[in-house]
Structure 1
Amino acid sequence: MNTIPRIHAMIVAAGRGSRFGASIAKQYTKLQDQTLLQHSVARLACSTYIDKCLLVVAADDSTAQTLDFALPIHYAVGGIERWQSVQAGVEAISNAGAKDSDLVLIHDAARPAVPSHDIDQVIEAAILEPYGAILATPVADTLKESYLQSIAQSELVDNTISSSTHPYAKRTIDRSNMWQAQTPQVFRLDQLQKVLAYVAEHQLAITDEASAFEHLQLPIRLVTGSRQNIKLTYPEDATLLAAILNAQS
Structure 2
Amino acid sequence: MNTTPHIHAMIVAAGRGSRFGSSIAKQYTMLQEQTLLQHSVARLACSTYITKCLLVIAADDTIARTLDFVLPIHYAIGGAERWQSVQAGVEAISNAGAADSDLVLIHDAARPAVPSHDIDNVIEAAMIEPYGAILATPVADTLKEAYLQSTIQNKPINSTHSYAKCTIDRRHMWQAQTPQVFRLDQLQQVLAHVTEYQLDITDEASAFEHLALPIRLVTGSRQNIKLTYPDDATLLAAILTAQT
Separation of aligned partners in 2, 1:10 and 1:108: 9
Separation of aligned partners in 2, 1:204 and 1:28: 29
1:83 alignment counterpart: 83
Q: Quick one: which amino acid aligns to residue 46 of structure 1?
A: C
Uncovered stretches (5+) of structure 2, i.e. residues with no partner: none
1:172 alignment counterpart: 167
How many residue pairs align between the two structures?
241
State the shift of 1:181 in Å: 0.1
2:140 alignment counterpart: 140
Q: Normalising to structure 2: TM-score of the pair? A: 0.97
Separation of aligned partners in 1, 2:158 and 2:145: 23
Does the 8 Å CA contact 1:151/1:165 hold for their aligned counterparts? no
Uncovered stretches (5+) of structure 1, i.e. residues with no partner: 153-160
1:158 alignment counterpart: none
1:209 alignment counterpart: 204
1:197 alignment counterpart: 192
Separation of aligned partners in 2, 1:33 and 1:193: 37
Matches within 5 A, 1:97-112: 97-112=97-112
Q: Quick one: which amino acid aligns to residue 165 of structure 1?
A: T
Q: Does structure 1 residue 35 correspond to structure 2 residue 35? A: yes
1:68 alignment counterpart: 68
Q: Normalising to structure 1: TM-score of the pair? A: 0.95
Over aligned residue pairs, what C-alpha RMSD do you find?
A: 1.3
Separation of aligned partners in 1, 2:164 and 2:158: 19
Separation of aligned partners in 1, 2:2 and 2:199: 36
State the shift of 1:20 in Å: 0.1
1:93 alignment counterpart: 93
Change (3 A) 1:219 1:162: closer
Q: Quick one: which amino acid aligns to residue 106 of structure 1?
A: I
- Large movers: runs of 4+ above 3 Å: 161-164
Matches within 5 A, 1:207-246: 207-246=202-241
Q: Quick one: which amino acid aligns to residue 170 of structure 2?
A: R
Q: Quick one: which amino acid aligns to residue 191 of structure 2?
A: L
